[in-house]
Structure 1
């Protein structure tokens, strides 16, 4: 008889080496503890989450390692509840940095997969991701949080700070008017008013001359240069 087989555990299906006359370490300890070599901890098929109180398959729970007698152990919370608990739990600065670095590294290594995931999410909920992109734009470019943006919007009554027009068109979001030298947010404007300030290059002297020009033009029925141009055109026609 083969010596390796003769020294194997006598329990069916176990090929561990024997430490006693019949059993391996696992089955020897189990027999001493319970009086039987049968597994006192059968494989877990279902568990009840202690948070949502729902009976779920064992695959819905994260593994927790092995017990003293080799049984598989699982977390008390199902995976969705555990993820919610992790999101609600404040992270330390080191944890935040490690999380950001992991996401950046994963994104660099899985660019195509990440692009496909984001495209699928935007297609499933375009309105949500459209506004989310706008929120990210506000923070990245102006360091303006969404709460601060809403405070400015409410303070202006939902109107343009210059022409007093309602800023309620969902297709055209308000322009963030800011000082290009200091970066200070001045208010929310409609697109025409924002472009107008841009064309005037925020120069008060130029805007004052423009106001004077328009006021003087209103007092004349036909501007002189227009009158002279019309007279010249008639003379040329003769």
Structure 2
């Protein structure tokens, strides 16, 4: 007696894989379709919000060696790297695209947000790391 379960619409016609997921698709094709849709949504959002041309995110990612432009530790594997842009350039929720600087991980993006694009912040941070106040207190200043 033939099975009444729906068959995966992406599998070959002679396949017997059931399609319990919406679509209807088998588990493998359902995961692939979800991944494809997530990627398309992210690409569309980058184009709309940051004014990048189609494929520019991936080009920028490859140009940076597949890592965060600042720390180089974040690879964007579990969470895509954030598009960093100059907030002083464009008013409003979208960017012109010319003020995009690169791709950064969540930690570095947070650091940049706290610094509010002030280079003096990073100068002070470097000076702090080179000669911390506690060294001066102990008379070990360099």
Between the aligned partners of 2:112 and 2:76, the Cα distance in structure 1 is: 21
Choose the corresponding residue for 1:202, options 117, 121, 139: 117
Verify the 8 A CA contact 2:68 2:103 in the aligned structure 1. Answer: yes
The 3-state SS of whatever aligns with 1:186 is strand
CA shift digits 1:60-101 (9 cap, x unpaired): xxxxxxxxxxxxxxxxxxxxxxxxxxxxxxxxxxxxxxxxxx
Equivalent positions of 1:151-170 (< 5 A) are: 151-169=59-77
| Shift of residue 219, structure 1, vs aligned partner | 7.5
Q: For residue 46 of structure 1, what is the aligned residue in structure 2?
A: none
Equivalent positions of 1:210-229 (< 5 A) are: 210-217=125-132, 220=135, 224=137
The 1:218–1:146 alpha-carbon spacing in structure 2 relative to 1, beyond 3 Å, is: farther
Between the aligned partners of 1:130 and 1:218, the Cα distance in structure 2 is: 48
Choose the corresponding residue for 1:126, options 34, 37, 42: 34
Q: For residue 185 of structure 1, what is the aligned residue in structure 2?
A: 100
CA shift digits 1:29-60 (9 cap, x unpaired): xxxxxxxxxxxxxxxxxxxxxxxxxxxxxxxx
| Shift of residue 205, structure 1, vs aligned partner | 1.0
Q: TM-score, normalised by structure 2?
A: 0.62
Q: Which runs of 4+ in 1 moved over 2 A?
A: none
Task: List gaps (5 residues or longer) in structure 1.
Answer: 1-119, 225-238
Q: Max radius of gyration: which structure?
A: 1
Higher relative contact order (CA 8 A, sep 6+): 2
| Shift of residue 197, structure 1, vs aligned partner | 0.6
Verify the 8 A CA contact 2:84 2:101 in the aligned structure 1. Answer: yes
Higher helix share: 1
Q: For residue 173 of structure 1, what is the aligned residue in structure 2?
A: 80
Q: TM-score, normalised by structure 1?
A: 0.39
Pairwise CA RMSD: 2.5
